[in-house]
A and B are shown apart, each in its own frame.
Chain A
């Protein structure tokens, strides 16, 4: 049996319901639409910003030659200021570090890589930057700094071989043949970019004992 006997009663009930709940229904629909459009606008905005950052990064890549190291570094700086919400500043600093190092400015290259390590948008990029940082620190004779960098970021199996190779170089620089041998062997086993060169380094270590 229905609660409502006649159509009039039904209409009355609907009106009454609307009076009680109408505001919340309208508010709910408006809120929903607002969220949808807000999200749209936000993604459009984000895509726009990313697109601009991307174009700026392309420009940086084009100019990234040893002759234009300063300009490359400045462009990387501008990327960091304007587009900090994207990953492009980190990529820009990676490229700038290479160019700076090649012009002989190791300190600036170290600073650039340190920035990538500090604000890397992805752990993989952080490890990559840390690895390069440690290699430059080692080449600059900052053995303790290199050791600290290695210890802090050698956390991924994907980079284990590369970190081990640098650790081997570090141990060899400190004269610790046994540790160098172990590290090089680990590097070859775990896989690195230049296994043959590491094999040569290994074969060139002084006799054990």
Chain B
């Protein structure tokens, strides 16, 4: 048999086999043999692969987004890479599920819709039109080919259809709405009694063993963190400004060189009458308008009041009703011809017809407020402040540079820098990584104080700028250091005794409250239980009534609904440790408002629908996921 194959392989049969083998190569290309399958896969959804590379890209994009959202507050260490990857993979699996479901259900976005979306995307436009170069550039920036991007967009659009169909069709039934209103608006009639722990605080000696046990059980409470004492220099613009002096001569020079700033231009109170003619109107129309305005001018000259005529004939919609008045105007924003005339007319005179781009005007100036310049005396202090700030700023940069050099050159002391620049060395108390007062509270400062270079190598820190955009620099060195420690038992013994006594008292108060509650349940009335203590009668209160402590409310609103004429009783622990007995005697449901008219959604119902809708969409995807074949490959160690 083998012999036979060998023999035939030399003939036409061999050719046939070669041809058959070459067909797949010709049709699918060689890359499907070389490239396929070798790429590591991060997840599988019904046979659809999510590659490690896609996942990496997603994680990276997410990091960039986080950084953009959070700005300076972004701390890479806060976002554990493993968690980000996990979340990104979950999100990608969800997307793949949606794609899979859409394919299965025949959901699709028509090509024209897809094209419309791409054409309308502002990022792909140049001067308000779609631009192919901009499109390709934007995709390149995202590392996508057009067909990849189009597939992604199609996927997003189909996904959005599914969201709108599933979440957008969520409804809130009438009973659900009413019940929501009844429950959230519910009020309960309650009274409560405080059982203070003060009444149970004893001074009986506390067992040494209990103290030791407490000390062992709460090591964190008695820990003192690692601390340092610092020497530091602060250079800031406010301090420098206070030290800088500005001469009167400087102020005068600044004032004179910047007159425009302190001047106030001429203002004129002006009124006018407008007969409109568009700029492109022909000669006849122009003539007609001119004739009309001449007529108006004659009327005023004949003794009619300007404002009455303006009201009657002016075509300027803004001013006609004001008798033509434009109020006080300044140069620079009006039609040039109009302005030219308005700012050259003497007071009271009616102008000749003036042609602006709106038409013909008659202008009258009613009063003139001449241009004025604020006197030096009025702006002296303002200028002094500005000049001092300018000087201080340039001094700040100058001294900052010198300071940085000085503390670097003699890195084992701040004294030379302080002497050279006339600065005062400041001394801190013990501070931990949580920071100290003032500038020592800044995270950049504490980070530098506990850095290897400063803490262990005993060198000066670099020049630190604690806050962005604040002209302030700090240099520091560590002068003393103590490791984290636990305070010795003897030192904290009184603290522990107090704590234990309080715990005992709390237990006793709670027990007393619970005994009182039992008495109430047994039919005793408040007076019998409370004695001299005051019972708080809160009356009918809502869920968030500020008059009643939150702990009391939360117990009151979880107690069973009492039958008519009886009461529900419970106990609570207040924020300060005191116990409380709570009694609910009546429940009044919230008011049920009639359904909002169609088109005016009730905000509360709208919110319920939104929350339900979002959950519905999640549930649909979870359901699909539970039936799909989903695999998550363990992330490779990095």
Contact = CB atoms under 8 A, between A and B. Distances in A.
B108 A51 contact: yes
Contacts of A2: 7, 10-11
B104 A67 contact: no
A184 to B, nearest CB: 12
Contact of B561 (A3, A97, A138, A207): A207
Contacts of A97: 169, 171
Contacts of A136: 171, 173
Interface in B595-637: 598-599, 608, 611-616, 619-627
B619 A128 contact: yes
Contact of B171 (A14, A51, A102, A203): A102
Contacts of A192: 615
Chain B, interface SS category = helix
B186 interface: yes
A156 B626 contact: yes
A88 B560 contact: no
Nearest to A13: B12
- Give the most central of B113, B175, B626: most A CB within 10 Å: B175
A162 interface: yes
B180 interface: yes
Contacts of B183: 197, 200-201, 204
A67 B597 CA distance: 10
Interface string B139-180: 000000000000000000000011011101111011110011
B176 A204 contact: no
Given A67-B598, A204-B561, A85 B110 contact: no
- Give the most central of B162, B164, B615, B623: most A CB within 10 Å: B623
Nearest to B108: A50
Contacts of A127: 619, 623
Interface in B1-56: 7, 10-12
B560 A205 contact: yes
A185 interface: no
Nearest to B114: A51
12 contacts: A50-B106, A122-B105, A124-B620, A125-B620, A138-B173, A158-B620, A159-B623, A169-B175, A193-B615, A204-B186, A205-B560, A206-B561
Say which size band chain B's interface belongs to: 35 or more
B177 to A, nearest CB: 9
Contacts of B437: none
Given A58-B161, A101-B173, A206-B560, 15 more contacts: A10-B12, A50-B106, A50-B108, A61-B165, A65-B598, A87-B107, A94-B165, A97-B169, A123-B627, A128-B616, A128-B620, A204-B587, A206-B561, A206-B563, A207-B568
B484 to A, nearest CB: 42
A92 to B, nearest CB: 8
A66 B165 contact: no
B368 interface: no
Interface string B279-319: 00000000000000000000000000000000000000000
B426 interface: no
Nearest to B3: A1
Interface in B51-105: 101, 104-105
A1 B4 CA distance: 9
A124 B619 CA distance: 8
Nearest to B595: A104
A204 B619 CA distance: 27
Nearest to B561: A206
A50 B622 CA distance: 25
Interface string A69-110: 000000000000000011110010011011001110000010
B201 interface: no
Nearest to B166: A128
Given A2-B10, A197-B183, A156 B623 contact: yes
B370 to A, nearest CB: 62
Contacts of A169: 175-176, 179
Contacts, number: 167
B619 A158 contact: yes
Contacts of B104: 121-122
A194 interface: yes
A3 to B, nearest CB: 7
Contacts of A10: 11-12
A95 B168 contact: yes
B161 A66 contact: no
Interface in B555-586: 557-563, 568
A206 B561 CA distance: 5
B525 interface: no
A51 B109 contact: yes
Nearest to B175: A139
Given A159-B623, A193-B616, A46 B106 contact: yes
Say which size band chain A's interface belongs to: 35 or more
A41 interface: no
A117 to B, nearest CB: 14
A14 B13 CA distance: 10
B110 A54 contact: yes
A6 interface: no
A167 interface: no
Contacts of B561: 204-207
A52 interface: yes
B560 A208 contact: yes
B399 to A, nearest CB: 59
Interface string A140-181: 000000000000000011110010000001000000000000
B624 A122 contact: yes
A128 B170 CA distance: 10
B111 interface: yes
Contacts of B560: 205-208
A137 to B, nearest CB: 9
B620 A1 contact: no
B451 interface: no
Contact of B165 (A51, A91, A101, A206): A91
A47 interface: yes
3 closest A-B pairs by CB: A193-B615, A51-B110, A66-B598
Contacts of A94: 165-166, 169
B486 interface: no
A86 B110 CA distance: 14
A154 to B, nearest CB: 12
B184 interface: yes
B143 to A, nearest CB: 28
B344 to A, nearest CB: 60
A139 B557 CA distance: 26
Given A61-B164, A158-B626, A86 B105 contact: yes
B12 A122 contact: no
A156 B625 CA distance: 11
Contacts of B170: 98, 132
